[in-house]
Amino acid sequence: MRLRSLTVVLISCFMVFLSLAIAPSAVALTQIRLFDVTYKDCPPELAKGAVISSGSAAANCFIVIGKAENGTNKTVYDADIFGRIYDANNDSVMQNRTRLGSIAEVPTGISDFELRISVPANQPTPLKLKQFKAAGFSGQVRR
């Protein structure tokens, strides 16, 4: 009976050790600093026929551009971009929405990013871009 208990304990310890040795590495959320964020008008081919998400009202097309800083030593994938956009009257351009888009891949160091947005045509410019940041994963996320 004692030998049987010892065998069970040894096998259990071996299985735990084996599962730790072959477990995949954790894919953690990595913060990306966004800075020098500004915007420009879309080229005519992108702006043609722009509408807001409801699909019925006319919209102006803009490209948000800036720099992304990945301070880790790994490429970050599928980084969601968060921020707030206000019009000239300090009214929110994207009501109840802070996730604005994503960056497919952010290499180590500083890189450029751009994001296309549509703003209702009745909201006055210039736009104010605030609290921009991004967060992504250090490994590919399954789709």
Reading the chain (143 residues) residue by residue, the pLDDT tens digits are 666 777 877 777 677 766 665 655 555 688 999 999 999 988 877 656 555 555 556 788 899 999 999 988 888 888 999 999 999 999 888 877 788 889 888 999 999 999 998 888 888 889 999 999 999 887 665 55
Give pLDDT, residue 2: 67
Residues 6 or more apart from 35 whose CB is under 8 A from it? 66, 67, 69, 132
Give pLDDT, residue 50: 53
d(CA 90, CA 36): 20
Give pLDDT, residue 27: 55
Give pLDDT, residue 43: 84
Q: What global pTM score does this model have? A: 0.69
Give pLDDT, residue 37: 92
Q: Kindly state the tokens that stand for 18.
A: 């084996």
d(CA 138, CA 30): 7
Helices (H), the chain: 2-22, 44-47
CA-nearest of 65, 138, 131 to 108 is: 138
